[in-house]
A and B are shown apart, each in its own frame.
Chain A
Amino acid sequence: MAKKQEAAEKSRSQKNSKSKIKIKQKKNDEAEEPEVAIVPSSSTESQNDVVEESSREEENGIMGEQMVKRKREEMEKNGKKEVKNKGKRKIGKEEEEEENSGTTTLYKFPMNRVSRIIKSEDSDLRISQEAVFLVNKASEKFLELFCREAYACAFMDSKKHIGYNHLSSVVSKRRRFDFLSDFVPEKVKAEDALKQLSMAE
């Protein structure tokens, strides 16, 4: 199964002759998040890669290492010319990202960002490395759960696009999402809200 995956990846990379390697960055990602970096150009490809990555992560840590090797080879071949970036990245940073991409098999979000969010809650809080890792992983699982529920909601609505209203109905209907009720309120029409206010007075 491992060999199949490798072969599939190789043939995909050969097909994709342009082989653009984009460093997808949005403005809020600026100087950090090396793990976000190296993805092949098409979104389908990146999906497949990520799916394979995650299944590998579950089963066998060795595969992640081989993926890293292959990506490094690809990058060397492409001469790093076609790296698109919005920011000020130089080749030195790319190498840094390459290095760090080896650790992405275990968790998906940047550790320093997670720890910063934790610290913003309570700056005196002391937390172990393991705990930050678990929070990172748990957030990923939470995201998956929330996403699935939201999609189920959209599905019931005969829609394929997940909108805000689907998220808000998940939050209002499921008890375990109660903690989000202040963050994802149901949208109401202004006139209804004003009516309610005037009735309350």
Chain B
Amino acid sequence: MVEEQDKLLPIANIGRIMKRILPRNAKISKEAKETVQECVSEFISFVTSEASDKCHKENRKTVNGDDICWALSTLGFDNFSDIMLRYLQKFREFERQKAEQNKASSSEERGEVTSNGFGLQPVASASLEFGILEKGGSSSAKQK
């Protein structure tokens, strides 16, 4: 049973995002929320498989951000891919700043949140939990 749930995104996050989008008086049935939960997971698989097919065709081993953008526009979500490019830039900026912060503050005690990052503390153990292969083998993101 645990395994099944692992293939779905947490329903609390889903519910919260839905509430944010919908007007206040709107409600969502539990069945609908669970259905949406499954649909989002299906969307993830759908986009990923399209992107990975492209990589296979082009004899590349690793799916990168551009492949995901391409997959989104191919599958009829082209307005997403523009937005994603913007987020990708922000993310790269975020990663760069995090790397700089880690270098600068490796000897400092934690406490202050510095600079204009995305709220990330300059602590080596604070992390975006990436359990997957990092391109370039950067050591800035550490796993817990």
- Name A104's closest neighbour in chain B (CB-CB): B119
**B residues near A176, Cβ cutoff 8 Å:** 75-77
Pairwise interchain contact A128-B77, C-beta atoms closer than 8 A: no
CB pair B64 A131 closer than 8 Å: yes
- Provide the B65-108 mask, 1 if CB < 8 A to any CB of A, else 0: 10111001001110010011001101110110000000000000
* A positions within 8 Å CB-CB of B: 24-29, 32-33, 35-36, 43-44, 46-47, 50-51, 54, 61-62, 64-65, 67-69, 96, 99-100, 102-103, 105-106, 108-122, 125-135, 137-144, 146-148, 150-151, 154, 160-164, 166-167, 175-176, 179-180, 183-184
Report how far A180 CA is from B45 CA in the complex, Å. 11
Contact indicator B12/A26 (Cβ below 8 Å): yes
A28 to chain B, nearest CB (A): 4
In the complex, how many residue pairs between chain A and chain B have their CB atoms under 8 Å apart? 273
Q: Could you jot down 5 A-B contacts, CB within 8 Å?
A: A29-B12, A102-B118, A134-B91, A138-B68, A180-B39
**Interfacial residues, chain B to chain A (CB-CB below 8 A):** 5-14, 16-29, 31-32, 35-36, 38-49, 51-52, 61-65, 67-69, 72, 75-77, 80, 83-84, 87-88, 90-92, 94-95, 113, 116-121, 123, 125-135, 141, 144
Give the contacting residue for B47; candidates A44, A103, A135, A180; CB below 8 A: A135
Tell which of B11, B14, B36, B63 touches A125, judged by Cβ atoms closer than 8 Å.
Answer: B63
Given B19, B63, B94, B116, which contacts A128 in the complex, CB threshold below 8 Å? Answer: B63
**What residues of chain B lie closer than 8 Å to A114, measured between beta carbons?**
9, 44
* Known pairs A115-B132, A129-B141, A147-B21; A142 contacts B77 (CB<8 A): yes
Check A128–B135 contact: CB distance below 8 A. yes
What's the minimum C-beta distance from B29 to chain A, rounded to whole angstroms? 5
Tell me the bound Cα distance from A140 to B76 in angstroms.
16
A50 x B16 contact (CB < 8 A): yes
The closest CB in chain A to the CB of B20 belongs to A50
Q: Is the interface of B mostly helix, strand, loop or mixed?
A: helix
- Collect the chain A residues with CB atoms within 8 Å of residue B43's CB: 138-139, 142, 179-180
Find out whether the CB atom of A115 lies under 8 angstroms from the CB atom of B130. Answer: yes
Q: How far is the CA of A115 from the CA of B141 in the complex (A)?
A: 15
| Chain B residues, Cβ within 8 Å of A122 | 48-49, 52
Q: A128-B62, A132-B132, A167-B35 are in contact. Are A99 and B46 (CB under 8 A)?
A: no
Is A113 a contact of B6 with CB atoms below 8 Å? yes
CB-CB under 8 A from B127, the residues of chain A are 100
Q: Which residue of B lies closest to A68 (CB)?
A: B119
Chain A residues whose C-beta falls within 8 Å of the C-beta of B19 in the assembled complex = 43, 47, 50
> Is there an interface contact between B48 and A127, defined as CB atoms closer than 8 Å?
yes
Contact in complex: A112, B129 (CB < 8 Å): yes
A163–B121 CB distance below 8 A: no
From A29, A120, A125, A127, give the contact of B10 (CB < 8 A): A29
